[in-house]
Amino acid sequence: MTANKYGTPGAMFVFAMVLACVAFPSVSNCQKTDVDVSVRVKDLADIEGVRSNQLIGYGLVVGLNRTGDRVQQNLYARQTLQNLLERMGISTTAASLKPENIATVLVTATLPPFVRQGSKIDITISSIGDARSLQGGTLIMTPLKGIDGQVYAVGQGSISIGGISAGTQGSSVEINHPTVGRIPNGANVERTVASELAANNTLTLVLRNEDFSTASRLNQVINRRFGADTSKALDGRNIEITLPAKYADDHVGFIADLEGLRLTPDKIAKIIINERTGTIIMGNEVRIAAVSISQGGVTVRIGTQYDVVQPTPLSTGGSTAVVPVTSVDVKEKKLESVVLQDGATVDEVVRGLRTLGVSARDVISILQAIKSAGAMNADLEMQ
């Protein structure tokens, strides 16, 4: 097998072993012989109404080492600084301001559920001008607003970035991304979002992935644990739960017990393909109908060499010239085929394709062809 644009031959071996371990975890190379595939409820579903909210603000970063916005081009940076100084009682004109140690930024944050006034949250600072780096900068007081236009937090502090930018435009070095930074615990919460947990002693679990089989199993698990008629599956995503009488005054305790329940979720047969990287992920639910796969190809190589032609000795005419010599070589790869029986598993598909010596890109094309032929009962998702 030759190397291809998706990697070396070893990549195909790793691909095969990963899929073999998914389909048959009992093989020796996978080590574990008995794997618990059940998951917790808290990893499958969310509680309706318990959610975070996004915040955004416009601010100014100061203290940069001449790496800020070029205010001659970005007039709003100059205007922002002028407005800031005027609020502090300093009168000036925008035309007279030409600092290079400021940068205009957008500040974003996530307001978690149940936070109180005075709580601290992380904020992310991103340059919106032509600043070269935010290294060493300090974000000045910036109000963070929600979608309703209300201020929910105020951010300020020294910025920590994961990149470095040094030098001038003619000779410079840049590592990672120096125009985006974070301030851990950089914003104080000033307003909270009202939320009521288990109002009227009822709550709704919302599955992150819609599936009727999983919703039915979750409904059965909850009723077995807390008693019949505790829960009711409304559809393939929502499960309505009535709190038992003994948890009427302990909503948090009930949710903690609920989230600790375990079940095995159902999965649809799906194949994920990323053509850019040659990544192929298949679950063990994928089954292939009886199909024959043939793989071969024609390779055409065209090469050009340049020979130097000189005039004969003692000749009076002619001159040295370069003459191209083109050669064409056509090779056809021997056609090979493999037959998969009805109900073939992922492991059999991989081993069958490996016997052909196919590359990752060829595997993608073959899987697409099998799906088009109607021999694969699985969703094929391209990324």
Residue-wise pLDDT tens digits, 32-65 = 445 567 889 999 999 998 889 999 999 999 888 8
Assigned domain for 219 exists: yes
Assigned domain for 244 exists: yes
- Closest by CA position to 258, among listed 45, 51, 113: 45
pTM over 0.85? The answer is no
**What is the pLDDT, as a whole number, of residue 177?**
80
Both 210 and 144 in one domain: the answer is: no
**What is the pLDDT, as a whole number, of residue 152?**
96
**What is the pLDDT, as a whole number, of residue 266?**
85
Both 61 and 43 in one domain: the answer is: no
- Number of domains forming the structure of the chain: 3
Give the burial class of 187: count Cβ atoms within 10 A of its Cβ; 0-12 exposed, 13-18 middle, 19 or more buried: buried
CATH code, domain carrying 248: 3.30.1360
Here the tokens at position 226 are 């807390």
Both 93 and 213 in one domain: the answer is: no
**What is the pLDDT, as a whole number, of residue 29?**
45
**What is the pLDDT, as a whole number, of residue 27?**
41
Compute the chain's Rg from CA coordinates: 32
Here the tokens at position 115 are 């936070």
Assigned domain for 4 exists: no
Both 156 and 133 in one domain: the answer is: yes
Both 43 and 31 in one domain: the answer is: no
Both 81 and 113 in one domain: the answer is: yes
Instruction: Among 189, 207, 227, give the residue marking a domain's end.
Output: 189
**What is the pLDDT, as a whole number, of residue 350?**
65
Both 244 and 141 in one domain: the answer is: no
Assigned domain for 2 exists: no
**What is the pLDDT, as a whole number, of residue 333?**
60
Please report, for residues 15, 67, 288, 294, 352, the alpha-carbon distance to residue 348 in angstroms, rounded to integers and kept in the order given.
13, 58, 9, 16, 6
Both 213 and 279 in one domain: the answer is: no
Exposure letters 242-262 (e unless 16+ CB within 10 A, then b)? bbeeebeeebeebbeebeebe
Q: Give the residue numbers spanning the domain of 236.
A: 39-48+196-263
Query: What residues in the chain have per-residue pLDDT under 50?
Result: 1-33, 300
Segment 247-303, tens digit of pLDDT:
988 999 999 999 999 999 888 878 888 777 777 777 767 777 777 766 665 554 555
- Closest by CA position to 206, among listed 51, 50, 48, 53: 48
Instruction: Among 167, 189, 211, give the residue marking a domain's end.
Output: 189
Both 221 and 182 in one domain: the answer is: no
Both 75 and 179 in one domain: the answer is: yes
Exposure letters 67-80 (e unless 16+ CB within 10 A, then b)? bbbebeebeebbeb
Both 204 and 169 in one domain: the answer is: no
Both 101 and 171 in one domain: the answer is: yes
Instruction: Among 189, 208, 225, give the residue marking a domain's end.
Output: 189
